[in-house]
């Protein structure tokens, strides 16, 4: 069974870099699919951040692209997120998920999510 688990600091200071890792088990990242990040501010809706293929090719939300880096480590079966120059508006539950590679690019397996708070 495919499982995803987010990990990283729960508190980040304004202007610093938010870094998260998603560890995948039960499925090899190298076998295909895109692997994505999604966030949800407290009490609000879902916002797609971006995704990555095992080859390293990425798609990103245009509104975050200038601050965003998504990378993959197939040897560890992990992919990661870095978001620079964070503000309070980046406070959210961050999810990692597996993406279909066609159709609606649906997200069929999700991690449990991790709350990241941006505060001094």
Partner 1 sequence: SYELTQPPSVSVSPGQTASITCSGDKLGDTYACWYQQKPGQSPVLVISQDSRRPSGIPERFSGSNSGNTATLTISGTQAMDEADYYCQAWDSSTVIFGGGTKLTVL
Applying CB under 8 A, the residues found at the interface with partner 1 are: 36, 38, 45-48, 51, 59-62, 95, 99-100, 103-108, 110-113
Q: Which residue has the tokens 């095992």?
A: 54
Coil, strand or helix at 58:
strand
Can you read off the two tokens belonging to residue 92? Answer: 């959210």
In whole angstroms, how close is the CB of 9 to partner 1 at the nearest point? 20
In whole angstroms, how close is the CB of 97 to partner 1 at the nearest point? 8
CB-nearer residue toward partner 1: 11 or 115? 115
In whole angstroms, how close is the CB of 61 to partner 1 at the nearest point? 6
CB-based contacts of 57: which residues, under 8 Å, 6+ apart?
A: none
CB-nearer residue toward partner 1: 13 or 100? 100
CB-nearer residue toward partner 1: 16 or 69? 69
End-to-end CA distance of the chain: 39
In whole angstroms, how close is the CB of 62 to partner 1 at the nearest point? 7
The CA–CA distances, whole Å, from 91 to 21, 26, 72, 106, 119 equal 17, 30, 23, 24, 9
């Amino acid at each position: 069974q495919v499982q995803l688990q987010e990990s990283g600091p729960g508190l980040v200071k304004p202007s610093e870099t938010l870094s998260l890792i998603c560890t995948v088990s039960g499925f090899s990242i190298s076998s295909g699919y895109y692997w994505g990040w999604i966030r949800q501010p407290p009490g609000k809706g879902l916002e797609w951040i971006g995704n990555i293929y095992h080859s390293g090719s990425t798609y990103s939300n245009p509104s975050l692209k200038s601050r965003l880096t998504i990378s993959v480590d197939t040897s560890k079966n992990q992919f990661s997120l870095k978001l620079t120059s964070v503000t309070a508006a980046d406070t959210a539950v961050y999810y990692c998920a597996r993406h279909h590679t066609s159709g609606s690019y649906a997200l069929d397996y999700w991690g449990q999510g991790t709350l990241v708070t941006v505060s001094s």
